[in-house]
Amino acid sequence: MIDVNLIRTNPDLVRENIKKKFQDKKLPLVDEVIALDARRRALIAEGDGLRAQRNTLSKQVGVCMKEGRREDAEKIKAQVKADAERLVAIEKEGEEVEEALKKAMMAIPNIIADDVPIGKDDSENVELQRFGEAKEADFEIPYHLDILESLDGIDVDSARRTSGQGFYYLTGDIARLHSAVLTYARDFMIDKGFTYVIPPYMIHGSVVSGVMSFDEMENMMYKIEGEDLYLIGTSEHSMIGRFMDQIIDGAKLPLTMTSYSPCFRKEKGAHGIEERGIYRIHQFEKQEMIVVCRPEESDSWYEKLWSYTVELFRSLDIPVRQLGCCTGDLADLKYKSCDVEAWSPRQKKFFEVGSCSNLTDAQARRLAIRYKDTDGKIKLAHTLNNTVVAPPRMLIAFVENHLQKDGSVTIPEALQPYMGGKKAILPKN
């Protein structure tokens, strides 16, 4: 959510930002916010004036009674009563205007960075850098599900019976590999100075509406029936919610955290759930990076965060690239975002395995995440998040890039200690 002062003082900038995101249907919201904001301020001013007048009139009643001017006193009392009734009406209308203003404000997208490429959707995202040589195999690489099944590492048929489409059982060495990757990622981030956190896996609706847009909420979140609780779609949700309505000691910033959690997603949007495979599913696990910092630090942290993901994947001998997300692919709260994509030797193209975002103060304003600066002033913090690693997408990249002609999958040296020294996973036959 952006600052209402920006809409009040520079509405054309906000309108241009909406157009860059190809959300022209939201343009009327700018005038709506301006009108609601003006009405809200008018009600506040009127209410303040009536309260001040009430104090003056109350004193006059005492003077009139003392001087025996009972009729004048009754007239003033009638005015006080009328003012009190008007104050009640003002407060009621004020609450309604405030709620309407908040709803409109939350639908207006965050101001995007100047260097974000213009584009309507993810097909117009821009490759920025490549890391590692994207080689093509000299033998045919099967579909990732076939590879995992040949290693006796996955059972999707049983999962369909127990849970439906979009779920899976991991077994044997593949289940161990899944856990090894997460543990390696955890230690990788701890070595970068991040604090390891395991957060709650369910959050209140007030946190959900603070960390994401209404459209994302509808398409992603599972709600617990009869409870004000939602299953998290990523640990970012509860990690950022941890600081809701808090004033952080500025001396403690930046807060750098790496969090583990299972993640639950409806995947109702344009992509939906795959009929076969584990690229887009309802349940997975993830290691995340979260940073809460001063505004002047967020750009540099953004560059650090995505580079850590690149470094981790390259340490596992997986070629990757950084893809700049275009304006139409940015969620409303994002100032800037990029994807890290891993090379798929089977498809001969890159696919998304992580996403890094700088949300500036958009989340912080919604959730009232503030800090006290050295000058004693209270300011809004900036928040950032990034995927360290998210199996099972990592497993897809891993088995494709390390598959051998004989059907075995090699284990890179960095991961071998987390696999009990195992150097390869062998096919069951």
Domains of the chain, each with CATH number or no CATH = 4-107 (1.10.287.40), 122-425 (3.30.930.10)
Contact 148, 399 (CB under 8 A): yes
Instruction: Indicate the pLDDT class of residue 403, thresholds 50, 70 and 90.
Output: very high
Contact 409, 192 (CB under 8 A): no
pLDDT at 82: 83
Instruction: Name which of 220, 303, 304 is nearest 264 in CA terms.
Output: 220
> Between β-strands 283-293 and 320-324, what pairing exists: parallel, antiparallel or unpaired?
unpaired
CA atoms of 195 and 288, how far apart (whole Å): 11
> Can you say how many angstroms the Cα of residue 108 is from the centroid of all Cα atoms in its chain?
16
Mean pLDDT of 367-389: 95
pLDDT digits (tens, 9 = 90+) for 106-118: 999 999 999 999 9
Chain mean pLDDT for the chain: 92
Q: Please say whether the dihedral angle defined by the alpha carbons of residues 365, 368, 371 and 373, taken in this order, is positive or negative.
A: positive
pLDDT at 245: 96
DSSP 292: E
End-to-end CA distance of the chain: 56
* Six-digit token string for 325: 């997300």
CA atoms of 284 and 201, how far apart (whole Å): 12
Query: What is the reported pTM?
Result: 0.89
**Which residues have C-beta within 8 Å of that of residue 85, sequence separation ≥ 6?**
none
* Burial state string for 145-157 with b = 16 or more CB within 10 A and e = fewer than 16: bebbbbbbbbebe
pLDDT digits (tens, 9 = 90+) for 56-87: 877 776 777 777 887 777 787 788 888 888 88
CA atoms of 52 and 42, how far apart (whole Å): 15
Q: How many CA atoms lie within 13 A of 275 on its CB side?
A: 0
Instruction: Indicate the pLDDT class of residue 223, thresholds 50, 70 and 90.
Output: very high
Contact 261, 232 (CB under 8 A): yes
